[in-house]
Structure 1
Amino acid sequence: MRTTRTARRLLAGIVATALVGVGLVGCASSGGDSSDGKTFTIWQYEAKDSAQYQSWRDAVTTFKEKHPDVDVKLVSTSFDNMQKNAKLLLTGNKVPDVVEVNKGNADAGQLASQGLIENLDPQVQKYGWDEKVKGAMSSLARYDRNGNAGSGSWYGVPNIGEVIVWFYNKDAFAKAGITEAPTTMDELERDMQTFKDQGTTPVASGANAFGALWTWYSLVSAKADRKLIDNYMFLKGSPSLDSGAFAEGTEQFQQWIDKGYLGSKLAGVTGDQMDATWLSGKSPLIVEDSAAFNRFKADAKFDWGTFTLPGASLNAGSSGHLWAVPTKSGNKELAYDWINTTLSSQVQNAIGKRAGLPLAGDPSVISDPQTKALTQQFADVVDKDQISFFPDYPVPGLLDFQQSGMQAMVNKTKTADEFTKELQAFYSKGKKQVDG
């Protein structure tokens, strides 16, 4: 089954605190209510087969060696339970000592503005976390007094990131007479045209998933700059979405549709169907989240590689979820040391070897060539501060609007100009509602 994008929620909105599941509250007795330093409780919601969870298990061993008298409890819950019930948990009598929370205004931002998680500025300075979590990777870790992301104090610390990349079938490229991955936009378009001329749909895509959306936003990001994207994401100023980079990227996306680079009848294609098309070898390229890497590595029967969009100014992607320290934590110093442990080279490199895209890892220690290449590509983007986040972050309802627009564009019932004008109107209305 395809990994869903449950972890990426809209930045704007209200934290849901109604009790809709028993998992989180039912385990509340495991909370870290001791302040004697003898019991230390960590709450997290990553899947147990994920690079983060497996590496955090390693981190627990290291942490115990540093604190042999401490009973460390690594408690797992679900993302949905934590997202819906975080406020209820953190205002209770038994809270974890350190907790994983979702990034964004609706979650970490609300918890910060309500005083439920600690301001980590002193610890960032003490441990130098800002030297490891840099540029845009820190944007969703920082919130102002109103809980708005992008500036202000640190209230959380991510361990990993994600990036949208192009997966390509090396065997299919060689068969088509293409000897290496494209390094410029012109080369990419030339390669796609080569496949199209040979009767092959170049890119496996779908508008009933994220393929078309990520392709569109990648083309927008390629032409954008840091100021435009930060203004768009963090509701600053009046970013233009019907001219400049957004209009140019959308026009190029429409050209790709018209040329057949993404195929036809895409409106109803799901993520699983899109992935299956690439894995079957029917299309040599696919635009996917880096989270698909391990699934593709397990299932692909051909030689393949990855590359970021050639010549792009910025690349779609984001930081991961955040470690936060509850205000009512009884063992805050241990919590800070835990966060520091997860940012250590030992743990970060363990994440990297498992293809988890660490924020402070060293790609050179990775032996698997595909994993090493992806990790280096991500590291290069981060080092150049070229992450543009994801297009549905800024205002409520934007994801549904954008995906509906993608479906209309691939069906050719809406032009690039019509879409960007409607996008501008939707965004401006949503921004006014968020701003109050």
Structure 2
Amino acid sequence: MFQTRRRAALVAIAAAFSIALTACGGGSDSASSDGKVLRLWHYEGPDSAMGKAWNEAIEEFEKTHPGVEVEFEEKGFEQIQKTAPMVLNSSDAPDIMEYNKGNATAGLLAKQGLLTDLSPEVTERGWDKLLGPSVQTTSRYDENGHMGSGKWFGVPNYAEYTMVYYNKELFEKHGVEVPTSYDEFTEAMDAFVAAGVTPLANAGAEYPAQQYLYQLALSRADRDWVDAYQRYDGKVDFHDDAWTHAAGTLADWADKGYIGKTSTGAKAEDAGVGFIQGKYPMLFSGSWWFGRFTSEATFEWDTFLWPGSELTLGAGGNLWVVPSGSKNKELAYDFIDITMRKAAQNTLGNNGGVPVAADPAAIEDEKSQQLIENFNTVADRDGLAFYPDWPVPGFYDTLVSETQKLLNGSASPDKVLDNLQKAYDSGVPAQ
């Protein structure tokens, strides 16, 4: 999300409730801290894997931290994305919050001095031993806010990656085989179009459309390409083979009806709900939808990795960050610690999440086992390529507007790539 987690857009709601919790000092979670308040923000829905695990973590926190009042607010992803720098530079900053990872988000806040350096806690509590190298990449930022090295400014307690969700009943109804190659993928979409069905759910007004674009580029890319784009380790040319293929193909897909023309104004929630309602046979998006589809879809569905690509979008999950202005940092550290323990991790894994430290034997759901196995497949081949909006501040909005142009035909692929190059180059810091 991706996103930019990107991620399924949530309606911004605020709910405050009080729970008796206990503060701890120096890594202990049993000492009383009467009169203190822990302010917690995140944007996961209560039925999501993360929402369920974190609610259990709050209950555990309550048991071990009597005497502390917790004020919890669920925020929308877009709301935090747009307002975090302003909020964290004010007296309204929470004590702990979920925040998007990457140079343009967590890296930018770290560079601005708005986040607490968690390095001592990471070492003391052993969180670094639970997170693999590819997951750690988005947790650490140097003095320029570049990810991959330097101090720890965030801790993910889950991972995420993208895949193709597909409606097994629609595939069976129209006699379409599950594709195992890129050619079979396009053949499947042709078959649906011939039957009058738009194959792919999409949302041009938010992250899904730009993730289609990035995945198409990744299908022609390698790790050096990703590192150049994401970590400034080389020259980035938006007219190279990968980006040229991506822009031309996405425009072609819109012309062929693989993606609906009317989806240019749709939001991520629209795409997800459209898939849940059985309107579309496929949706390419992240593991953050998995739990919701499990609970809301009334048809049989499954997933497969994008055919013909070693790379896909993904990373460690969004980060627990502790704002510099947090008034109760020790409490925040204790809450993070609870979310990293086996109980919370197993809950994540059994509810459609991708845990970083679960007990494999404790994951009972067959679909969840496959979700974790596919993630391990991607991670083992170093296939996590992060998200397209991460490299420079403000690039998310640029990608939204430019992919909309590809979908509605208001600009040529070549012109769109020109615009992306200009925006990217203007945001890359001097080396």
TM-score of the two chains, using structure 1 as the length reference: 0.78
Conserved? CA contact 1:363–1:375, under 8 Å:
no
Give the CA deviation at 1:411.
2.4
CA distance in 2, matches of 1:8, 1:62: 29
Which residue identity lines up with residue 172 of structure 2 in the other structure?
A
Per-residue deviation at 1:350?
Answer: 0.9
Aligned partner letter, 1:410: L
Given that 2:118 and 2:152 are in contact with CA atoms closer than 8 Å, whether structure 1 keeps it comes out as yes
Unaligned runs of 5+ in 1: 10-22
Q: How far does residue 142 in structure 1 lie from its aligned partner after superposition?
A: 0.6
Q: How far is the alpha carbon of 1:169 from its aligned partner? A: 0.9
Alignment of 1:306-321 (within 5 A): 306-321=303-318
d(CA) in 2 for partners of 1:128, 1:76 = 26
Identity of aligned residues (%): 33
Shift of 1:334: 6.6
Q: Structure 2 CA distance, aligned partners of 1:296 and 1:255?
A: 29
Are the aligned partners of 1:203 and 1:284 in contact in 2 as well (CA < 8 Å)?
yes
CA distance in 2 between counterparts of 1:160 and 1:226 reads 23
Counterpart residue identity of residue 161, structure 2: V
The equivalent position to 2:207 in structure 1, one of 198, 207, 210, is 210
Contact kept in structure 1, 2:142 and 2:150, CA below 8 Å: yes
- The count of corresponding residues between Structure 1 and Structure 2 is 409
* Letter paired with 1:138: Q
The secondary structure found in structure 2 opposite 1:75 is strand
The 3 A distance-change label for structure 1 pair 42 and 223 is farther
CA deviation string 1:138-174 (max 9, x = no partner): 2221111233333212122111233222111101111
SS for the counterpart of 2:163 is strand
Q: Do residues 232 (structure 1) and 226 (structure 2) align?
A: no
Normalised to the residue count of structure 2, the TM-score between the two structures is: 0.79
Structure 2 contact 193–258 (Cα < 8 Å) conserved: yes
Residues 365/356 of structure 1: CA separation in 2 closer, same or farther (3 Å cut): same
Distance in 2, matches of 1:296 and 1:99, equals 25
| Structural mapping, 1:210-359, within 5 Å | 210-325=207-322, 336=333, 338-359=335-356
CA-atom RMSD, angstroms?
3.9
Residue among 404, 414, 418 paired with 2:415: 418
* Cα pair 2:88 2:323 within 8 Å, conserved: no
The match for 2:159 is 161
Which residue is 1:373 aligned to? 370
Residue 348 (structure 1) shift: 0.8
Whether the 8 Å contact between 1:266 and 1:411 is mirrored in structure 2 is no
Match of 1:103 in 2: 101
Once the two structures are TM-superposed, the CA of residue 131 in structure 1 deviates from its matched residue by 3.6
* 1:61 positional shift: 4.9
Is residue 85 from structure 1 mapped to residue 87 from structure 2 by the alignment? yes
1:306 aligned counterpart, secondary structure = strand
The 5 Å alignment of 1:115-194 reads: 117-179=115-177, 181-194=178-191
Q: 1:41 to 1:230 in 2, by over 3 A?
A: farther
Distance in 2 of aligned mates of 1:239 and 1:31? 49
Distance in 1, matches of 2:221 and 2:116, equals 34
Q: Distance in 1 between matches of 2:264 and 2:318?
A: 31
Q: CA deviation at 1:390?
A: 1.9
Displacement, 1:5? 7.1
Rate the CA distance shift 1:279–1:152 in 2: closer, same or farther, 3 A.
same
SS at match of 1:45: strand
The worse-fitting range, judged by mean Cα deviation, of 342-351 and 267-276 is: 267-276
CA contact (8 A) 1:134 1:382 kept: no
Alignment partners' CA distance in 2, 1:382 and 1:287: 18
Shifted more, 127-136 versus 342-351: the winner is 127-136
In structure 2, the gaps of 5 or more residues are 8-13
Partner of 1:76: 72
Cα distance change on mapping 1:324 and 1:301 into 2, 3 Å: closer
Higher mean C-alpha deviation, range 100-109 or range 350-359: 100-109
1:401 equivalent to 2:398? Answer: yes
Distance 1:121 1:131 in 2: 13
SS in 2 for 1:140: coil
- CA distance 1:297–1:229, change in 2 (3 Å): same
Given that 2:315 and 2:385 are in contact with CA atoms closer than 8 Å, whether structure 1 keeps it comes out as: yes
Q: Counterparts of 1:412 and 1:133 in 2: how far apart (Å)?
A: 43
SS in 2 for 1:195: helix
Structure 1 residues 278 and 325: CA distance shift in structure 2, 3 A: closer
C-alpha spacing 1:411/1:343, structure 2 compared with 1 (3 Å)? same
Where 1:88 maps in the other structure, the secondary structure is coil
Is residue 3–residue 100 contact of structure 2 (8 Å, CA) maintained in 1?
Answer: no
Check conservation: 1:164, 1:214, Cα contact below 8 A: no
Counterpart check, 1:38 vs 2:35: no
Which stretch shifts more, 76-85 or 49-58? 76-85
CA 1:186–1:426 in 2, change beyond 3 Å: closer, same or farther? same
